[in-house]
Amino acid sequence: MEPATYIWDEGELIPWADANVHFLSHALHYGTAVFEGIRSYQTADGGSAVFRLNEHMVRLDASARAYGIPMSYSADDMSKATLELLRANSLESAYIRPLVFHGVGEFGLNPAGSRVRTMIGAFALGKYLGEDGVKNGIRAMISSWRRISHDDFIPTAKGSGAYLNSALAKSEAKRAGFDEAIMLSQSGSVSEGTGMNIFVVSEGVVHTPPVSAGILCGITRLSVIELLEAEGYDVRETDLTRGGLYTVDEVFLTGTAAEVTPVREIDGRVIGSGRPGPVTVRAQELFAGAARGEIEEYRRWLEYV
């Protein structure tokens, strides 16, 4: 991670190196925190803009409410704080990480006795799954770990502790020589990647798993659905099977960090031609165009810094 100059800490801009928390913070021990991942991009007109900032902060607020973490700042305050941080750090494009976490307080699992703290970091970040991955596609495996379910966690909320599940799957995949893991739901249907949603293209129709498969409702997922539908593509929420994935024409992943990344191989089976397919490439172009303010209609998604 490339250090930036400042971190936003409850209304103050503090030096990057001073953004420390106490060892006995509740969240460090039990994962009692919620977070977001947001990106800003340099736009076609030279300025910098945050992609769907308000939607991310509304989701942060919803994640906090879902896990019962009292927010000290409104979604609107968090958006303003993000813009202030980006201006102070002079980052042309950035990955933005707000975190709302339980700090030091009473000992024990009940977080209610621990003060809630809110911080935001922003730093430069390249292609999460690599330049080569974005251009030529990545190699994925089906994880031996199942995605968290609606019975044990809240998959639609970005709760920190739940990411131990993603970290298990990601590290298993990397150790086995793959770039990414695709996780199945508890019932065995395809859910998503470790930090990204999945799409497949089969016989001209675009499919993506529904919320019941334990997915996080990705903002990139929603954006790509809207962008492809506007181009006339038929996009459906469908329960997908592991075996079915092996024989579809195209597979791609979407997420703030991963953007739109093609998958060229799953469990050693080559997907389609082994090259990013036409729908994947179109989704990449549309997403990049929208994020960089090149498509008039989608400038409404941008918050200029």
d(CA 35, CA 60): 6
- The stretch near ligand PMP (CB under 6 A) out of 23-31, 79-87, 108-116, 253-261 is 253-261
The answer to whether 160 contacts ligand PMP (rule: CB under 6 A) is no
Q: How many CB atoms lie within 10 A of CB 34?
A: 28
Comparing CB distances to ligand PMP, the nearer of 22 and 65 is 65
Are 83 and 303 in contact by the 8 Å Cβ rule? The answer is yes
d(CA 21, CA 58): 25
Q: Give the shortest CB-219-to-ligand PMP separation in angstroms.
A: 4
Residue 78, helix vs strand vs coil:
helix
Retrieve residue 137's tokens: 């596609």
Q: Give the shortest CB-199-to-ligand PMP separation in angstroms.
A: 12
Total residues belonging to the chain: 305
The answer to whether 207 contacts ligand PMP (rule: CB under 6 A) is no
For the chain, the C-alpha Rg in angstroms (whole number) is 19
Amino acid at 21: V
Comparing CB distances to ligand PMP, the nearer of 75 and 196 is 196
- The stretch near ligand PMP (CB under 6 A) out of 86-94, 216-224, 267-275, 285-293 is 216-224
Retrieve residue 223's tokens: 């954006």
Q: Which of residues 73-132 bind ligand PMP (CB under 6 A)?
A: none
Q: Give the shortest CB-99-to-ligand PMP separation in angstroms.
A: 13
Active site residue 174: no
Residues near ligand PMP, by CB under 6 A: 37, 166, 192, 195-197, 216, 218-221, 254-256
